[in-house]
Amino acid sequence: MKVGTENDKGPSEAGKRILSAVRRAMGLDHVAWIDSLDDGRFQVQLVESENTQGCLPEGTVTADLGAAAAVVSGDRPMVFIPEGTMPLRTPYSRSPVHLQGAVGIPALGGVVWADRVDGPVSQRECDALVDACALVSAGIENERIALEARGREGYLTQVLEGLRGVLESTSEQACVGQLVEIAAGQTGSEIGLVALKSPHETEAAVVGCYGRDARKLLGKTFEASSGLVDLAMKSGASVPAEFRFSRNMHPVLGPGCDLPVTEGDGILVQPVGSTGVPMGALVLIRGQYGGALVVHGLRTLCDSAALLMYRFRLQGRVERDAMMDGLTGLYNRQAFVRRLGETFAFCKRHGHDLCMLMIDADHFKRVNDEHGHLVGDRVLRFITDTVQRALRESDMAGRYGGEEFCVLLPNTDTEGARLVADRIRETCAASVVPVGEGKIRVTVSIGVSAVSGTMEGPDDLIAAADEALYLAKDGGRNRVVLAAG
């Protein structure tokens, strides 16, 4: 609860839940949102922590941000990496806090601060926090827009009903469908679609549509470097200015993939997402788009949809990170075992082949002892790359623990699994890992098991592969052994 709030730029309840979820998912000790006031001071709007002892109460006004002052003055995110544990002045406490890592992110003139007592905050975590803060800041801005529009009763009711439909979406696909249907319905448009752009490519794809002519384009991709969609994403504004199509304009989508639109047709292309991180655009044709209220309402719908889609993507990223091993990028043990259980049950039920490889780096302790753990990490990444190059898209690899890796090969018999294992073993044995001015040769031992009629569950498949791996190690290492039976 806020006490004595002088400003209303702080996160909404949804924003607080997002920051709370990010803090828990990343294992952070504190996350604080500090607002700027008009007189140059700052106000504590949120302190999210398992233990708030020693933290300033929400609503506290302060002029001293401690280390976070550099973030506000520099207007850029900063990662603080003390040498070991050291006391650091934080914006949420009057006394220094002993920390090993912290990050500050500028937000609406204030700062969002996050820290960890028992470890540093990585650049990757900082990037995720920047995304989360952008999400919450966009929510604050959307709330401000909604408040300003509240006096316009008739149209406000329509906008709010549309927002409700969008925000009740439970997935990005559902959100897109609601956005285009609501926007087309509110403006009386004959045609509507949403095109989303890949963040790392120049292509965009039609992912939502309204009207028979638009449905023909669902799933189609187009070059997003020209056309009205590209112009809207780059400018961050509704186009064209007169909301009328003219023959001398760019195509709506792009060459070879466009909509049936003629001279004088009403048209509005509204960006979805910010100009810094454009997600795509909403396209409406042959509807009523005149007046600031209509554009304002559509912008609110698009901004709200973008906010929700950012949330779905951030949530997906956090969930994926929780499933992955940080060093190798493979599934961690828990995620691998879960996927193994699902795949084992499916293959048993349908009578499909399923094989498993248990891979262990030979003499790995010696590598760590003689060359250090950084070189050991390099060896593990080398094995990971070798394994991934040997697999099909349908195969699955995980780090089972330490220097042990597991590979699942669906629809593969024992002979096929042995060939994959030999390919991995031979590639490792024929390669070297550079170490300073020298190099070391890495070998692996591999146990291979296959699902049989006597196996009752995935633990039996693991046990058989583990036993075969033991025989491979006991037999001299750098070899592949098939499980008996």
Asked if pLDDT for residue 28 goes beyond 60, the answer is yes
Terminal-to-terminal C-alpha distance of the chain: 65
Q: Are strands 444-450 and 396-401 parallel, antiparallel or unpaired?
A: unpaired
Q: How far apart are CA 272 and CA 269, in angstroms?
A: 10
pTM of the predicted model as reported, rounded to 2 decimal places: 0.43
The tens digit of pLDDT for each residue in 34-72 reads 998 888 899 998 888 888 888 999 889 998 899 999 999
Domain 13-133 has CATH 3.10.20.30: no
* Residue 336 DSSP one-character state: H
Asked if pLDDT for residue 485 goes beyond 70, the answer is no
The helix/strand/coil state of 88 is: strand
Question: How many Cα neighbours within 13 Å face the side chain of 445?
Answer: 19
Contact, 133 vs 101, CB < 8 A? no
Contact, 249 vs 240, CB < 8 A? yes
Dihedrals phi, psi of 302, to nearest 5 degrees: -65, -40
Report the pLDDT value the prediction gives residue 275, as an integer from 0 to 100.
Answer: 62
| Same fold? 13-133, 152-319 | yes
Here the tokens at position 225 are 């470097």
Confidence of residue 8 (pLDDT cuts 50, 70, 90): low
CATH number, span 152-319: 3.30.450.40
Asked if pLDDT for residue 481 goes beyond 60, the answer is yes
Report the pLDDT value the prediction gives residue 292, as an integer from 0 to 100.
Answer: 74
State the residue for tokens 């569950």: 457
The helix/strand/coil state of 2 is: coil
Which residue in 433, 411, 414, 434 sits closest to 422, CA to CA? 414
Here the tokens at position 382 are 């080398």
Q: At what angle do helices 13-26 and 123-148 cross, to 10 degrees?
A: 170
Least confident of 88-92, 195-199, 444-448: 195-199
Residue-range domain boundaries for the chain: 13-133, 152-319, 333-482
The helix/strand/coil state of 144 is: helix
The tens digit of pLDDT for each residue in 426-463 reads 999 999 998 887 889 999 999 999 998 888 899 999 99
The helix/strand/coil state of 323 is: helix
Other CB atoms within a 10 A radius of the CB of residue 239 amount to 22
Residue 439, CA distances (Å) to 369, 442, 482 in order: 15, 10, 31
CATH number, span 333-482: 3.30.70.270
